[in-house]
């Protein structure tokens, strides 16, 4: 289901992955819940950059579309949001994004010694609260609270430790939220089916 952009669902299916599945035992195939989810990622109190939020939303949408659900629509962007059975709401808050210098700040900012770039550490931290609910009734299916932390010291002159710390935190958030949902197994589909009161759903899709 690759209907995209203004009216569609976000669904990825890489050719390389398909080839792998041809030789993967059926028992090892991932189970995709045959339901569609609306994804919302927003800042709460103590907001950080829009760039971090947007990058996380894009990465999470890709992960949910390939490992969890039959379709993912982005709230505020895709018209197909109204067709989804589920809502996955992620709120980011209390961001800490700072760089600490081993030298004094005045010394660290002195030009002429590129190696001084290596004597600094970037620390990034953000609180994440996520809920999966049914669209029609608002019934809570899953809740996850976590604090993602990442610190990075550059290992070569010219490296951007802030960008690396942001990426590390983003990767951890996506991994932890996906694990909390139980993606890849049939338990998630059964839980959703029970909440929706759906006695005869389509069979979960194996990938």
> Would you kindly state where each structural domain of the chain is located, as residue ranges?
30-206
According to the model, what pLDDT value does residue 15 have?
Answer: 34
Listed in order, strand segments (DSSP E) in 66-173 are: 69-74, 86-101, 120-134, 140-152
Tell me the C-alpha distance between 143 and 80, whole Å: 24
According to the model, what pLDDT value does residue 152 have?
Answer: 85
Which two tokens mark 17?
């992955």
According to the model, what pLDDT value does residue 153 have?
Answer: 83
According to the model, what pLDDT value does residue 157 have?
Answer: 72
Tell me the C-alpha distance between 5 and 90, whole Å: 21
Which two tokens mark 158?
């010219």
Question: CB-based contacts of 127: which residues, under 8 Å, 6+ apart?
Answer: 46, 92, 93, 94, 95, 145, 146, 147
Residues found in the chain: 207
Tell me the C-alpha distance between 144 and 176, whole Å: 9
CB–CB of 71/61 below 8 Å?
no
- Report in angstroms the alpha-carbon separations of 140 from 118, 124, 147, 177: 46, 30, 21, 15
**Could you state, in chain order, the average pLDDT of each consecutive group of 10 residues for the chain (207 residues)?**
52 38 43 95 96 97 96 93 96 93 58 62 95 96 97 77 93 97 91 83 54
According to the model, what pLDDT value does residue 192 have?
Answer: 94
Is the domain covering 30-206 a CATH 3.40.50 domain? yes
Tell me the C-alpha distance between 207 and 204, whole Å: 10
3-state helix, strand, coil in the chain (%, to 5): 40, 30, 30
Tell me the C-alpha distance between 150 and 117, whole Å: 18
């Amino acid at each position: 289901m690759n209907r995209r952009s203004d009216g569609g669902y976000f669904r990825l299916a890489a050719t390389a992955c398909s080839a792998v599945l041809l030789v993967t035992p059926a028992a090892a195939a991932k189970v995709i819940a045959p339901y569609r989810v609306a994804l919302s990622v927003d800042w709460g109190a103590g907001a950080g950059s829009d760039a971090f939020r947007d990058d996380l939303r894009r990465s999470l949408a890709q992960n949910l579309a390939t490992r969890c659900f039959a379709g993912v629509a982005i709230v505020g962007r895709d018209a197909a949001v109204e067709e989804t059975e589920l809502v996955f709401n992620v709120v980011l808050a209390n961001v800490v994004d700072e760089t600490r210098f081993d030298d004094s700040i005045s010394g660290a900012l002195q030009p002429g010694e590129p190696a001084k770039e290596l004597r600094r550490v970037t620390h990034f931290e953000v609180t994440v609260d996520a809920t999966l609910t049914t669209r029609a009734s608002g019934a809570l299916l899953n809740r996850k609270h976590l604090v993602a932390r990442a610190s990075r010291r550059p290992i070569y002159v010219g490296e951007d430790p802030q960008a690396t710390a942001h990426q590390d935190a983003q990767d951890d958030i996506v991994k932890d939220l996906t694990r909390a949902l139980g993606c890849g197994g049939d338990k998630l589909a059964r839980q959703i089916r029970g909440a929706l009161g759906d006695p005869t759903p389509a069979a979960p899709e194996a990938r």
